[in-house]
A and B are shown apart, each in its own frame.
Chain A
Amino acid sequence: MDFEPSSEQQMLIDQVRRYVREEIIPLEAKLDPDASELDPADQARLVEKTKAMGLYGIDIPKEFGGPDIDIVTRVLLAIEMAQHRAGLYVPCYGTFGGAGLAQIFEANEDQKERYLYPTLRGEKKPFFGLTEPSGGSDPARAIQTRAERKDNGWVLNGAKIFISGADRAQYGIVFARTDASKGRAGITCFIIDAGTPGFHVRRVVHTLRSSSYATELEFKDCWVSDHQVLGEVNKGFAVANDRLTRQRIPYAAGCIGVAIAAHEMAIEWAKMRSTFGDKLANRQAIQWMLVDNEIDIRTARHFTLEAAEKARRGLPFRTEAAIAKLTASEGGGRVVDRSMQIHGGMGMTKDLPLERWYREMRIRRVGEGPSEVQRMVIAREILGSSLR
């Protein structure tokens, strides 16, 4: 497969690259190094700018008003959008818009009116509630939150952990067990409004991602009507799984973007910094680190574009998405680590973005399915269905 960008793709890449360098990085230089939000006035101004560029709502399907951009091009642009300090978790500080929750496109018409369209207009923010204290790698077995039938609706009881943004969201989707005897075929996805009696955001969970926290949720006799079921009863797991697979491609692209930015910084520093009478760039030990960075980046880029290309063509891409997520998150972590090493003490400071990338990149080997689970997905493909 040829992954050289076409001239149209290159034009968009250049446009986004200029935007990151001319609009985002200068503003970011004035913010706290752990900031994840722009000043509201800057945010509004930049959203107008991305709208004028025709790239606002880049992840929104065309039929819902998004720009008509295929997934391969979106990956190429996502790689660019991540190339700044906050870029891994808040690429361009969200100024390109988006739904933020792929599942909500599966809503029925009434739910689309209440949730999808306000989300696309930027009026509502969602959260994604899958992981529980009992585990997140294997949600089909780990989910213990129960939903029991009552009064034309459901009563939820249980807890969720590591849920990003639940305290600020207007609604979220929450997975609960509706039939204990059926394993993965007994899980249903519910839409829960903030403020629903019995739904509590109990605490902040502080992680390495000190720019934005996760939260712990509790559901205590939380009643929701049948209208809040997303998709079909007992078919929630397919909804979760599909989203997680799709998410892995842009997730990988973000890691690649940050890796490229770290690598470029390391190259520049190595050419400039001298020790023992010569430039770092002339030391073989440093050259090899840069070579390894280059290989990690190219590998991840190749596999991520391959996964995107399969998705674009409508082919199965589960294995490819797992390989992309694995190579980009593990390779990206190595690139940032080597780039810090080349920078010496300066690499450890908050003056540079490397330390933030280092912390946040570490999470990427666990979030959206840990590396071991990605390897499991790939192993299943290699070894055949006997392991399923």
Chain B
Amino acid sequence: MDFNDTPQEAEFRAEVKAWLKANVPDQNQEVASAYSSRQNQAEALAKAKQWQAKKAAAGYAAITWPTELGGLGGTPMQNVIYADEESKYVVPRGFFDIGLGMCIPTLIKHGTDAHRQRYVKPALYGEEVWCQLFSEPVAGSDLAGIRTRAEKDGDDWILNGQKIWTSGAHHADYGIIVTRSDPAVPKHQGLTFFFLDMKSPGVEVKPIKQISGGRNFNEVFFTDVRVPDSQRLGGVGEGWKVSLTTLMNERLSAGRTLDADMVEFIAMIKTFTMEDGSPAIKNADVRGKLADWYAQGQGLKYTRFRTMTALSKGQTPGPEASIGKCVSASRSQDYAAFAMELMEMGGVVTDPDHSPQQGFFPESWILSPAMRIAGGTDEILRNIIAERVLGLPGDVRVDKDMPFNELPTGA
């Protein structure tokens, strides 16, 4: 048991360190993050694209992908080493995660050589942005209940309907979409999967304002949108299977949330006193909670290490990999709320100039509810753990074998 790099890993780490040192732009600028509510989105995206292009040229944008797809042909361990080193810097994050984490892997797996030739590289270099058009107003957790229609017309399909909560659709060039091609069969059987140009006639994107005040997700309307049959991924009626590829990748990439540094957290708490003048850090309630969050945070960290160990031995990671987001989302909601409580009346202040740690805690507090919903809700993830890991029975499904168009809808 050790955490040491092998000689090859150490060599790779040294290369990465040197590269980051030479290439990360100016450290003083504000972090360009896709989910921050504060910055100008277009500017942030432009910066992110520049950074992505540099990373891709060096091979670090897709370390584990084969070289013929623009990757480095590297190991999962190298991927971790890169992420580890990059996390020490302030660099743009979050704009390409959906595209490179979910959309392109789905295209690589289910697309043709021609698709791979044409789309993978521009996505890697940040030249083309992708979005994931899955959720609809009627169906989020119950993804197989979506209704956006796809009807065959010659060599094309005609799409009509609506998606919602589509992150980044407002700056996306392409999207992957799951549609209903046959409403007369049970719900999982009537789905077909495509990718499409977001500039296609009939596609309309309307940003939705979030509780954070930001506008990162959207409604996307489809009115007689033509998609060539050549952009179908997987067979007609096999869209569910293809969606699962995307969702599997989602679970692998999910779970990396912004985390409070416990040592900094404690440094901040040391500056607070309780009403009776006693130091907050000596308060039993405070200490108990800090210990819990620290233990959870370390538990997540070392669970990741176990997963990585399995990967680096060429094994499939065990089910422990599924718990990350489930824990980290509500954990950050809890500690952010508690940090605000310790700030007492001042806890409401979000102005970075007047809130401890530049308003990190109120920002986490307002962002954390999204983490508990996006990419599978807390409840759905617990169902998954109970069913796939513990082998408990699936939910009773009244809709499984009924034709989709005969299902009750609540509407």
Q: A and B from one assembly?
A: no
Measured CB to CB, the residues of B under 8 A from A are: none
Chain A residues engaging chain B, CB cutoff 8 angstroms: none
